[in-house]
Amino acid sequence: MLKAVTDWLLSHKYNLATAILGAAALIAAGTNSRIAVAVMLLAVLPSLWIKATAPVLIPEPEPEPPEEPLCDVKSAFAGFDSPVYMLDPKANVIYQNPSARHVFGEIEPGQHISARIRLPVIMDMIRETIASGRNGMTEYSETLPGENVFQVRMIPAETQEGKAIRFYVLIFRDISESRRIDRMRSDFVANASHELRTPLASLRGFIETLLGPARTDTAAHERFLTIMLEQVTRMSRLVDDLMSLSRLEIKARVAPEDAVDLVPLIGSVCDALAPLATDLGVEIKRHLPDHSINVSGDRDELTQVFENLIENACKYGQEGKIVDVTLIEKPRQPIEVSVIDYGPGIPEDQVPRLTERFYRVNVESSRSKKGTGLGLAIVKHILTRHRARLLIRSELGRGSTFTVRF
């Protein structure tokens, strides 16, 4: 009230001054005409001065008071795709957004939040936030139907318009995906370090022996240095594979567009692997058409795919003695390349895991055959980028078929 009066007085100070001086002039006129003229001039001066100095004021439209101070906030939360509640200071629900309704079910405005959310960690956090007036945060996980982790935050807020309303925003965020990626990343780093640590430890052992007990044993030198060279080669294979994977990850979403003729490409992969096959006592049989079959792709990457598959078939299907490589093209059907071996096969429950990084059916057998456990992971990445698929069929004791379907 007092503020309104002072405001009014301040904004009308010049008019008031004019009025007071004018009145004084009239009174003075009754006594002395010179004084009256002087006072009248003084009365006019302030209004002249206002004209010269006062800024031109554009009248601002009075802001319309919102019907309800929380309307805007509610409509903002309605668009969130994670559950959001607005609570009053007694933890009664003022508003629930559609996502909260979908996840936790309908709750009437005015009902206590515990009617829908009963988890003690969340209820404790709500109580604490209301008591302290400071932001609160907690996490909880659900193990059914899947492993889901939620982060729950509660933030005190107040509306500025009109009468102040204090409320709390309770937000749920599903962080399961980012947790899963974190875990994958740390597993990957742990696996990669473990793979590098084994050859490093062996190198260190040999170096120490060469510097110590075997310093003068020239016969041992050659033996040790040969093993050391093998270990170093294994490490560089692993680093090469890791680099391939990381390069592929970077360009995962870009489909390669060159036209690649699969017939000569597969032919030259078979040629390149012939010496290895001979060493293993395996014959690679090609069943390729005598005309070109083009797909859009990246020549080097597709070479890497068939190298991995045919090499695996020779190494792990060695007992079968034969590896068939067939390229089939039928009208109106996808182009398919199959690499078939007649070796021991792969247990059914392990087939879906073969394309995981570092997954090996038998770690020792893979290591002894110069495997890194990354080959099929690389194959899968390349094929995904080529919009192609890898299909694996295997039967214990009969062998395996790895098919690339373009």
Ligand X SMILES: Nc1ncnc2c1ncn2[C@@H]1O[C@H](COP(=O)(O)OP(=O)(O)O)[C@@H](O)[C@H]1O
* Choice between 360 and 386, CB closer to ligand X: 360
Residue 58: CB atoms within 10 Å: 6
Residue 330: CB atoms within 10 Å: 8
Q: Which of 241, 242, 315 is nearest to 281 (CA)?
A: 315
Point out the residue whose Cβ comes nearest to Mg ion.
Answer: 375
Work out how close the CB of 229 gets to ligand X at its nearest, in angstroms, rounded to a whole number.
Answer: 20
Work out which of 150, 316, 342, 406 binds ligand X, going by CB under 6 A. Answer: 316
Work out how close the CB of 316 gets to ligand X at its nearest, in angstroms, rounded to a whole number.
Answer: 3
Is residue 312 a contact point for Mg ion (CB under 5 A)? yes
* Rounded CA separation 355/402 (Å): 12
Residues between 346 and 365 with contacts to ligand X, criterion CB under 6 A: 346, 354, 360-362
Residues between 239 and 268 with contacts to ligand X, criterion CB under 6 A: none
Dihedral over alpha carbons 20, 21, 22, 28 (to 10 degrees): 110
* Rounded CA separation 365/34 (Å): 122
Structure tokens belonging to residue 172? 């749920």
Dihedral over alpha carbons 259, 263, 264, 267 (to 10 degrees): 140
Which residue reads 């060695």 in tokens?
A: 318
* Rounded CA separation 263/163 (Å): 78
Is residue 380 a contact point for ligand X (CB under 6 A)? no
Strands of 93-96's sheet, edge to edge?
A: 93-96, 84-87, 166-174, 148-158, 136-142
* Rounded CA separation 263/291 (Å): 8
Is residue 338 a contact point for ligand X (CB under 6 A)? no
Residue 307: CB atoms within 10 Å: 16
Residues between 49 and 88 with contacts to ligand X, criterion CB under 6 A: none
Work out how close the CB of 247 gets to ligand X at its nearest, in angstroms, rounded to a whole number.
Answer: 17
Out of Mg ion, ligand X, none, which partner does residue 318 contact, by CB within 5 to 8 A per kind? none
H-assigned helices in 133-217: 176-211
* Choice between 30 and 397, CB closer to ligand X: 397
Work out how close the CB of 72 gets to ligand X at its nearest, in angstroms, rounded to a whole number.
Answer: 55
* Choice between 286 and 393, CB closer to ligand X: 393
CA-atom Rg of the chain in angstroms = 41
Work out how close the CB of 82 gets to ligand X at its nearest, in angstroms, rounded to a whole number.
Answer: 38
* Choice between 171 and 305, CB closer to ligand X: 305
* Choice between 129 and 372, CB closer to Mg ion: 372
Work out how close the CB of 280 gets to ligand X at its nearest, in angstroms, rounded to a whole number.
Answer: 12
Work out how close the CB of 306 gets to ligand X at its nearest, in angstroms, rounded to a whole number.
Answer: 12
Q: Which of 274, 281, 257 is nearest to 343 (CA)?
A: 281
Q: In Å, what is the CA distance from 209 to each residue of 199, 200, 213, 223?
A: 15, 14, 6, 12
Per-residue x/- track, 366-385, Mg ion (CB under 5 A): ---------x----------
Is residue 39 a contact point for ligand X (CB under 6 A)? no
Structure tokens belonging to residue 216? 């003068």
* Choice between 161 and 307, CB closer to ligand X: 307
Select from 115-123, 181-189, 251-259, 306-314 the region that touches Mg ion (CB under 5 A). 306-314
* Choice between 97 and 308, CB closer to ligand X: 308
Work out which of 273, 302, 313, 327 binds ligand X, going by CB under 6 A. Answer: 313
Dihedral over alpha carbons 252, 257, 260, 265 (to 10 degrees): -20
Q: Which of 207, 210, 211 is nearest to 219 (CA)?
A: 210
Work out which of 18, 231, 318, 400 binds ligand X, going by CB under 6 A. Answer: 400
Out of Mg ion, ligand X, none, which partner does residue 132 contact, by CB within 5 to 8 A per kind? none
Is residue 317 a contact point for ligand X (CB under 6 A)? yes
Work out how close the CB of 295 gets to Mg ion at its nearest, in angstroms, rounded to a whole number.
Answer: 22
* Choice between 83 and 317, CB closer to ligand X: 317
Residues lying near Mg ion in the complex (CB under 5 A) are found at 312, 375
Residues lying near ligand X in the complex (CB under 6 A) are found at 308, 312-313, 316-317, 341, 343, 346, 354, 360-362, 366, 371-376, 400
